[in-house]
Amino acid sequence: MARIIFISPYLKGGQDKSKLAHRTKYIATRDGVDLLRSERGSESATEKQREYILRLVKTFPQSKELAEYEDYLSMHTRDAASEFIDQVWEQFIDSMDERENYLDYVSHRPGVRSDGDHGLWDKDGKVLNLSKAVSEVANHSGIVWTPVVSLRREDAERLGYTDVDNWRALVNSCVQEIAKGYRIPLEHLRWYAALHEKEKHVHIHMVVFSSDPKEGYLTKQGIRDIKSAFATRVFEQDLLHTYERKTEYRNALGKSAQMRMAELVTSMNSGSAVSERLEQLIGELAEKLKATNGKKVYGYLPPRVKSVVDEIVDELAKDERVAAAYSLWQDMQDEVVRTYTDDLPERVPLSQQKEFKPVRNMVIRETLKLSERKVTFEDEDMDDEPESTETVPPTISGIHKIYEQTERYRKAKKTLCDEDADMDEKRSAIESLEKLWDEGYTIAAHQLGKVYRDGLGVPADWVKAEGWFRRSAEQGTVCSAYALGKLLLPVGLSTEAIRWLNKYAADAGDQYARYTLGKVYLAGENAEKDVDIAVDYLKASAEMGNQYAQYTLGKLYLLGREVPPDRDVAVYYLTRSAEQGNRYAQFFLDHLDDIHNPSVGLAVLRMFHHMANIFRDTTAQDYTHMGLHIDRKRRRELQEKRIAMGHKPDDHEDEKMNQTMS
């Protein structure tokens, strides 16, 4: 990807006005002067040139950011060396007594895009009184920075930055980041600029200072932040392409998650997925966690335990699918960072990558489940919310009224589920549902419960969701009773939750409610543990074809922890579940002969499942490494462009991206 160059030397004031009135050696820059190069310019740089360049880059490290230095490194010719030396003299060397005022120089030098007598401009356009601006800078007693923003000519032409107006718009769009980078209050920021063109590069020379001479301070991070701001705006279209590639990757990973897990089960069957080393490490971590007091979270663990967690993560990362996903994620980060620096972030092992911290705590959680012998259900993929097909019986208004209400209900529901619908459309849909409820169309209450539970067009609100589900359930809507019961369980209202699940859902023969009640009594977290009641509910759900109940029963009878072991019954339930595509049931069927330690394999399988989700979520965050953030305004502009290009509004969107690009 193309990149932008930004350097920012400075001139000190307050000691000798000549230091601001004159700057560096003036190297053959009068209008109309042709730069004369040796006919041997294409030959290798001379030894003196090479030695001099070494001294220059040592004295002025920022000079290595110049495009002319890149050209010199790639060609090592005499001409390239001369161009770099000239540019360093022009931009860095403070031989103040041999050249006119810097501001006057940049506004008149050869190659400047001028309007009449000079080419200096500020936020409002051409500077009308050049002598006043020159005097202002020359007499400034504080620090004056002289940054250069440069593009290669092919990039400048491709992106439209051979025009003064576009450069001025660019600087104006970056003034907040410029002020912040130089630590100057925005209202005190003063700047001038001129556009210069060379054969290979197009750049602007700027003068930046504060109206208060005591203000202003530029750090390396400030330089990075300003470069980041310019890069994002200049290469917006290029970045859009990068973001779209990240989106394609995220979507591909999400769509192929089940396939990845199926491949993992296949590899486990051949013994290639769960290595002896991985089993050993998980067993070691389980023992260390037992002996560790305090929070079982990575940040609170002693170093000896952290090292085991790290080793497990890196062992998991050896899987070819994880390795490929991590490598691609790193490639996408590097592609964006290259727009403003060649200093790419170091590629570290997955265990040390800060963006993937959740992987470490996931390993700890799964190992704790293993060591504590907790019952797990592996039902993350269960779709347990079938929609009610109930309609309200004809009223005095007749069949036509019911048909009209049903159409309004379907339209509102479609709008709320439509990712492309805007907030006004969603609010209108909610109002339509509320009106339908007032008219006696009771199923509208169920959809309103989902609206507030899931935050569809409004902020999520548990109290309102509970109220609407309750109204619908009290009208006899089975799916609402089930939704209400599930909503009440995690907030400590388990007695009422179980009553709703029993009275309206389980008694009505709903397989999901029976399975949920089986989980409640088996886990003993939201109700007193009762294995007999749990098994009855699970069997009732399993006989209705619920693959998750079948899997849970199969695992119970195979491991023999909560019920007496029965291999034949276990195989019966596991087979029925596996036939419906349950990968966890298939795992146990594949490991019947080494059942002495199936739990480690199951823990690893769960780890890979969570790993895929973490990769999907981390890629979706859509922020870049090393400080390249996008503020809300820029995100909105990018989103509008994506929508115009046919993408959905939530493509690679993430609410964590709320920091202003510095």
Query: Residue 541 carries which DSSP code?
Result: H
Instruction: Look up the pTM and report it.
Output: 0.49
Residue partners of 571: CB distance under 8 A and separation at least 6: 554, 558, 589, 592
Distance CA 339, CA 2 (A): 6
**What's the whole-number average pLDDT of the chain?**
75
Structure tokens at 104: 């006057």
Indicate if the alpha-carbon torsion angle 181, 182, 185, 187 is positive or negative: negative
In this predicted model, what pLDDT tens digit does every residue of 606-630 receive, in sequence order?
787 777 777 766 665 543 333 333 3
CA atoms within 13 A on the CB side of 317: 20
CA angle 337, 339, 345 (to 5 degrees): 20
Q: Worst-scoring range by mean pLDDT, 90-99, 315-324, 423-432?
A: 90-99
Percent of the chain residues past pLDDT 90, beyond the cut: 14
Q: Alpha-carbon distance 648 to 659, whole Å?
A: 23
Q: Residue 371: what pLDDT?
A: 64
Please give the single-letter amino acid code of residue 331.
Answer: D
pLDDT digits (tens, 9 = 90+) for 155-170: 888 888 888 888 999 9
Q: How far apart are CA 344 and CA 349, in angstroms?
A: 15
Quick check: 481 pLDDT over 90? no
In the chain, which segments carry CATH 1.25.40.10?
A: 399-597
φ/ψ of 603, rounded to 5, equals -60, -40
β-strand 144-145 against 5-7: which pairing, if any?
unpaired
Closest CA to 406 of 442, 352, 354: 442
Contact 455, 486 (CB under 8 A): no
Cβ(144)–Cβ(20) below 8 Å: yes
Q: Which residues pair with 112 in a beta bridge?
A: 196
* CA distance linking residue 606 with residue 599, whole number of Å: 10
- Looking at residue 22, what is its pLDDT? 38
pLDDT in tens, 230-285: 888 887 756 655 555 555 554 554 444 445 444 544 443 444 455 678 888 888 89
- Give the DSSP letter of residue 392: P
* End-to-end CA gap in the chain: 21
The residue behind tokens 């500077």 is: 127
**Which single residue is written with the structure tokens 């020159």?**
134
Q: Determine the pLDDT at residue 162.
A: 85
Listed residue (529, 524, 556) closest to 542, CA to CA: 556
pLDDT at 220: 85
- Per-residue pLDDT tens for 331-367? 777 766 666 566 778 899 999 988 888 889 988 988 8
The pLDDT value given to residue 254: 45
Whole-angstrom Cα distance, residue 463 to residue 451? 12
In angstroms, the CA 488 to CA 497 distance is 5
Name which of 512, 253, 560 is nearest 385 in CA terms. 512
Q: Helix (H, G, I), strand (E, B), or coil: what is residue 193?
A: strand
What CATH fold (topology level) applies to the domain 399-597? 1.25.40
Q: What are the E-state strand segments in 64-114?
A: none
